[in-house]
Amino acid sequence: MPAKGSAGLFIQIAKSQIGVIEGPRDNETKYGAYTKSNFQPWCGSFVNWCANQAGVKIPNTVYTPGGAAAFTSAKKWVPAPQAPKPGDVVYFDFPGDGVDRISHVGIVVKDNGDGTCVTVEGNTASDAKGNQRNGGEVCQKVRGYAKNTKKIQVSIVGFGRPTFVPDEYVNPVGKQLAGALAAGAIAIGGGQAIADKPVDTKPPVTNTTEVTPPVDTTTATIYTGCQVVTLQTKASK
């Protein structure tokens, strides 16, 4: 699972909502309830709800021009036709819809590299004939941010770019310690384990009839980052 606060989790949560329809009343959704803006157009509420679920910090974008302005003030605004990145908050002004300003918002899933990108949007329509900024459903769409050969309408104004944590956190130290544990060393803290070559030791025989069996000793030096710990494991033959 992607890390909390990552673009991957933000997108995963948004995609999990595809197909959700408002109701039973007009513009009634859990997204609007979360932002205390229920029964109002909810594309911005959807984006804020997804961000909260993913642990991603973004400005309030219930009023879409206000969200775009907040990203601009924070110097996290990328105007079209510059290309988006996954997890960008994408703002729209649909030509010819009678509203000559930013009036819709969604989440970028991926850039197609051809002037279009895949998005997930709340309160839109699943087909081109429906109301694109008040369609009542969560849908995955392909939108244009620059002139493209697909002849998809250019409706994207720009992108707000949140600050994300990496999608995956890989701890190489942990992998090395796991190898040391498998070899019989016990690591304290975190660090790199290096096993030396086995050394045969044969204790002296006492005057009694009992003989101590030979023992193989493997030493392992554990570098914990703040101290060096040398450990030994023994196995009787």
Confidence of residue 228 (pLDDT cuts 50, 70, 90): very low
198 cis-preceded (ω within 30 degrees of 0):
no
Higher pLDDT, 38 or 224: 38
Domain boundaries, the chain: 7-160, 172-236
Q: Is residue 47 predicted with pLDDT exceeding 50?
A: yes
Among 14-28, 137-151, 178-192, the least confident range: 178-192
> What are the phi and psi torsion angles at 114 (to 5°)?
-130, 25
Residue 64: per-residue pLDDT: 98
Looking at the chain, how many residues does it have?
Answer: 237
Q: Is residue 78 predicted with pLDDT exceeding 90?
A: yes
β-pair type (215-223, 116-124): unpaired
Residue 204's CB is within 10 A of a number of other CB atoms, namely 5
Residue 128: per-residue pLDDT: 87
Do 34 and 48 touch, CB atoms closer than 8 A? yes
Residue 1: per-residue pLDDT: 85
- Kindly report, residue by residue over 146-166, the tens digit of the pLDDT: 999 999 999 999 999 999 999
Q: Tokens for 5, please give them.
A: 């606060």
Among 33-42, 61-70, 102-111, 171-180, the least confident range: 171-180
- Kindly report, residue by residue over 52-69, the tens digit of the pLDDT: 999 999 999 999 999 999
Q: Hey, what CATH class is 7-160 in?
A: alpha beta
